[in-house]
Chain A
Amino acid sequence: MTLKIEHLVGGYGQVPVLKDVSFNVEPGELVGLIGLNGAGKSTTINHVIGLLRPYSGTISLDGLTVKANEAEYKHSIAYVPETPILYDELTLREHLELTMMAYSLDPEKTWPRAKDLLQTFRLDNKLDWFPAKFSKGMKQKVMICCAFLHDPKLLIVDEPFYGLDPLAVHELLRLINRAKCHHTAVLMSTHVLDTAERYCDRFVLLTAGRVKASGTLKELRQQAHNEHASLDDIYLKMARDGVDD
């Protein structure tokens, strides 16, 4: 499924945070959403997952929109938030059961997959723990396990690497890669640019609510007139230019 964002204007209050944002994420493609704090990355993601409604413009997933096809749209996406959000009242096992119910998954078929994920993130012996006992990294791992329990058409990962140990980062990237192989479109916002450079197929650089540049690393280098620049160099230059603007 292709995520298509067209002329998106949106935000939280009267003054829009996003001003005419447009880009696509194709199936099997990992797009890195990059920008300074306050550039509008999380706002974009909140619009994509349907927590915010656009002032104008459209967000569609192969023609499906939150407004017209809410259940179908939400069924097709999985989201790993920047700050893990868990239910205080539910144990890890119950979080997984709830996810299975929410996405109408057959528990018998899904539990082996859940157990694989739990083992991967070393959570398999913590099934009866409440979120209050988990560290920040562990909570993030729970969110990842829940997101990868089903086969979403679009995976949205917001700043996934904070709080995760190197092993977990490696496993997450492996899972994202596997999802890509299953034609999942992946949108990832991050500040960890060297990892983004290695793993993302394309990049969208946001500055002050606008798309400053987008494309593959090669295309970004051409735009920056520097054939050997790293993503870090390009990003810093564009960010400074954006601030100067």
Chain B
Amino acid sequence: MTNLYKKRESAHFVMLIKYWRLVFNDHFVIALFFLLGALAYGYVGWLAKLHQGLWWAPLLLIIWSACLLQVGRLATLLQPADRVFLLPQSQAMTAYMKKAWRHSLLLAEMITIAGTIVALPFARVTMGWNNYQLAWAVIAMAIGKLDWLLLSWIHLNNNTHLAPGKRDWMNNRWLQSIVIAIGIFAKDAWAGAIVAVLFLLANWLEYRIAFSLDWNRAIDYEQHRMDSIYRFFNLFTDVPSVQGSIKRRRWARGIVNVLTVNGHSWSYLYAWGFVRNDDFAGLVSRLTIVAMLVVFFVSLSWLKWVLTLLFIYVIAGELTPFYKHFDANAMTHLFPASHSQRVHDFQHLTFVVLLLSGCLIGLASLGNRGDWQVMLIDIVLAVIEAVLISRILIPQRLKNVK
């Protein structure tokens, strides 16, 4: 079983390398280099302005530490088919899981310690801590992470004496993390360490219970973990296994009515599909919000207009693949609706989405100076672009898509 984990670990590593290579392309590395430099420079400059005794400083450190402890999860690398194929090996899974746990601990501790070290200069300036206190903080956080991963182990053990319903609540990893973080930064670093050790003892007693893998829970947990990894990579490149999650969004019925051409099946499908699918609706709303922030803070009028036009063009570009979103479903090919009606319905969707985004970006172009003339021109330009894109550009692009 440990061999199986080793095999999976190397396959997982190869997969990660494949995606990391795509993420860290030349341009991104340069951008990241500058970004990190700017962040470090900004951090140093910020520290110089701070002083001891700020009321919000411990609060910020508690939030930072509690969040930091959530990073670095138990990577079991289990797959859904395992619950069938490896079921006869359930007993032997303990060795597999121990291997996975140790591997995860190493990586998680590195992240925790690095993240804690980043926060230490802030703690020294705002709380006046000496080197011993800083060292205790690092130790407490390291033990805190150990607690967190022990809880993950207990969480996946069928034999734990807690009932499944209570297991989540009693073994709440956030709860322990927050208490440890409060111990460190609200009282003193050694107090945090003591709290962490007490949790460690409690968790250890539970950890010693014979392990029996809760297959469903473990596989769901791993799927969830992998989904978040894939979603991160999906920001940079296409990851085939990433599917946008579906949200009901009852409140969106009004928006769907606006997006739908009455009685058109394709229009109805596109409207609900767009509103409920996180991939497309999320992307469009994020781009709109970023555009609103940018045009709000940019002071040059002409630059606001250019940026508005550019953002609307980008949103249209991101929306175009949605045309084929339902193609994998054979039933859509059985609709007695013509191709031209489908294109028309998609044009309608694009127009309304671009119009809404354009108007919001236009409103934001009012900026902190409140120049309504700039805003008016911005909105007019956005509307013209929405019309041109949906009437001319989209049908042309769809010809290529077809």
Interface residues, chain A, with chain B CB atoms under 8 Å away: 49-51, 70-75, 77, 79, 81, 85-91, 94, 97-98, 101-104, 130, 132
Contacts and interface: CB of A to CB of B under 8 A. Distances in A.
B324 interface: no
Contacts of A91: 248
Contact of A89 (B273, B335, B336): B273
Interface in B315-352: 326, 329-331, 333-338
B207 interface: no
A157 B40 CA distance: 65
Interface centre among A49, A51, A101 (most CB of B within 10 A): A101
Contacts of A94: 268, 272
Contacts of A88: 243, 246
A75 B338 CA distance: 11
A240 B375 CA distance: 78
B269 interface: yes
B330 A102 contact: no
Contacts of B326: 87
Interface residues of B, number: 22
Contacts of B263: 101, 104
A102 B330 CA distance: 14
Contacts of A81: 330-331
Given A70-B338, A71-B338, A130-B246, A87 B269 contact: yes
B335 A74 contact: yes
Contacts of A71: 336-338
B7 interface: no
B276 A51 contact: no
A86 B272 CA distance: 14
A34 to B, nearest CB: 22
B228 to A, nearest CB: 19
Interface string B252-287: 000000000001110011001100110000000000
Given A87-B329, A90-B272, A94-B272, A50 B246 contact: no
Contacts of A102: 265, 335-337
Nearest to A91: B248
B269 A98 contact: yes
Given A74-B335, A79-B334, A90-B273, 16 more contacts: A49-B334, A51-B330, A71-B336, A73-B336, A81-B331, A86-B329, A87-B269, A87-B329, A88-B243, A89-B272, A89-B273, A90-B269, A97-B268, A98-B268, A102-B265, A130-B248
Contact of B336 (A75, A87, A90, A98): A75
A50 B268 contact: no
Nearest first, the 5 A-B pairs at minimum CB distance are A74-B336, A75-B336, A102-B265, A101-B265, A89-B276
B353 to A, nearest CB: 16
Contacts of B269: 87, 90, 98
A81 B333 CA distance: 13
Contacts of B335: 74, 102
Given A74-B334, A101-B265, A85 B246 contact: no
A104 B336 CA distance: 9
A101 B272 CA distance: 14
B268 A132 contact: no
A101 B265 CA distance: 5
A77 B334 contact: yes
